[in-house]
Amino acid sequence: MKCHICDSILIRSWCDRLWLIPGNQQEFHYFNCSECGTVFCDPLPKGLELAAYYKDHFNYSWFEEHLPFKKIQAAHRWQRIASLFHKYNIRQGRLLDVGCGHGLFLSHAQRARWSTVGIDYQSLATRHAREKLGLEVVEGDLRTVILEDRLKASQFDFVTAWHCLEHVPDPLNYLEEITMVLGPSGKVLIAVPNAEALGMKLMREDWIWCQPPYVHVTHFTEKSLALLARRSGLNILATWTRDTWDAHPFFDVYVAPRMVRLLNRLRRLSTRAAFWLEEGMRLACYTASCPNHWLLGRERTDRLGSELLLLAERIQPNAK
Ligand SMILES: [Zn+2]
């Protein structure tokens, strides 16, 4: 076995737990690369297996239930990213959101007068984006829609991919496809769960974003994500981490375990009240960690945040 990011053979078992994928009698296990730190599942799923899994077993209702919070998240994602446009010379133009889902992030970009397109597999989420938000959404995988000329190469000024790369079996291929659609001075923002996050270190396989293999195939470190970006023909402008409302170490490690009894009692009276209390506490923990950004306009400089972000640009053909 070797690491599918850096090709190292220095691989060790990462945890004892074995996952049995619904509809598949094989057991899956997480391994860790000693060279680049990536945590990945073995065996790696094949594209068709993954498509069947998402079609038959993936729980999409979570997104519907959490839509009010996803809307807040999308607004904050846009606000935090837009604050970087001047610093990194991201010019307003055409924006592609890869894995756009319900189109919540995309709609903020459109409101800010960007020309927007989303791409995702056909689902209730893409229907929401098209019919309720009136967004332009291309359905299918990136390679196919480029080959079929439904999306043209080299045309986008900014491409965003929020939490997509950890789901795909061949992330190098996926990032190369993203690079193909970037225009001459186009920039790309990749966000993934951070394999070096405090939550992952403290809770390991119980961390909220350490999801079963097939949902998350690869957990990247800053080193492995940067390596992948460079191999895809990208020049890295910045990497940083931050905590999010749905993966916050203070809530996950300290608050959630102390709320279990209370939430269970409340659930017997009202599942809705328990839901709003839990999610409200998540949001409160996230809000309490934001003043550094709101007041000082800064992102944190340590590498312990739950979400790992990478901003890069396409390497110019004549660049030395
Ligand atoms: Zn590796």
What digits encode the pLDDT tens for the residues 76-114? 899 889 888 989 989 899 999 999 989 999 999 999 999
Residue 292 CA to residue 298 CA, distance in Å, equals: 6
The Å distance, Cα 36 to ligand 1 centre, comes to: 4
pLDDT at position 247, please?
86
Encode burial over 145-184: b for 16+ CB neighbours within 10 A, e otherwise: bbeeeebeeeebbbbbbbbbbbbbbebbebbbbbbbbbbe
The Å distance, Cα 40 to ligand 1 centre, comes to: 9
The Å distance, Cα 170 to ligand 1 centre, comes to: 14
The Å distance, Cα 3 to ligand 1 centre, comes to: 5
The Å distance, Cα 28 to ligand 1 centre, comes to: 19
- Checking if the pLDDT of 320 tops 60, the result is no
Sign of dihedral through CA atoms 130, 157, 195, 105? negative
The Å distance, Cα 108 to ligand 1 centre, comes to: 36
The Å distance, Cα 51 to ligand 1 centre, comes to: 25
236 vs 153, which has greater pLDDT? 236
- Checking if the pLDDT of 152 tops 60, the result is yes
Q: Is the pTM of this model over 0.75?
A: yes
Residue 298 CA to residue 42 CA, distance in Å, equals: 38
The Å distance, Cα 307 to ligand 1 centre, comes to: 19
Among 19-28, 97-106, 267-276, the least confident range: 19-28
The Å distance, Cα 2 to ligand 1 centre, comes to: 8
User: Which of 63-72, 76-85, 220-229, 309-318: highest mean pLDDT?
Assistant: 220-229
61 vs 35, which has greater pLDDT? 35
CB atoms within 10 A of CB 12: 8
Residue 5 CA to residue 185 CA, distance in Å, equals: 26
The Å distance, Cα 14 to ligand 1 centre, comes to: 13
- Checking if the pLDDT of 59 tops 80, the result is no
Nearest to 166 by CA among 190, 144, 199: 190
Task: Please state whether the peptide bond connecting residue 43 to the residue before it is cis, i.e. omega within 30 degrees of 0.
Answer: yes
CATH code 3.40.50.150 region(s) in the chain = 61-200+220-246+290-314
pLDDT at position 106, please?
96
Contact 195, 219 (CB under 8 A): yes
- Checking if the pLDDT of 54 tops 80, the result is no
Percent of the chain past pLDDT 70, that is, above it, reads 94
Among 104-108, 167-171, 192-196, the least confident range: 167-171
The band of 318, judged by pLDDT with boundaries at 50, 70 and 90, is: low
Q: What CATH number matches the domain at 61-200+220-246+290-314, 3.30.70.360, 3.90.1150.10, 3.40.50.150, 3.20.20.140?
A: 3.40.50.150
The Å distance, Cα 13 to ligand 1 centre, comes to: 13
SS (H, E, C) the chain: CCCCCCCCCCEEECCCCCEECCCCCCEEEEEEECCCCCEEEECCCCHHHHHHHHHHCCCCHHHHHCHHHHHHHHHHHHHHHHCCCCCCCCCCCEEEEECCCCCHHHHHHHHCCCEEEEEECCCHHHHHHHHHCCCCEEECCHHHHHHCCCCCCCCEEEEEEECCHHHCCCHHHHHHHHHHHEEEEEEEEEEEEECCCHHHHHHHHHCCCCCCCCCCCEEECHHHHHHHHHHCCEEEEEEEEECECCECHHHHHHHHHHHHHHHHHHHHHCHHHHHHHHHHHHHHHHHHCCHHHHHHCCCCCCCCCCEEEEEEEECCCCCC
- Checking if the pLDDT of 18 tops 90, the result is no
In one letter, which amino acid is 85?
A: F
Residue 299 CA to residue 243 CA, distance in Å, equals: 10
The Å distance, Cα 11 to ligand 1 centre, comes to: 8
204 vs 310, which has greater pLDDT? 310
Average predicted confidence (pLDDT) for the chain: 88
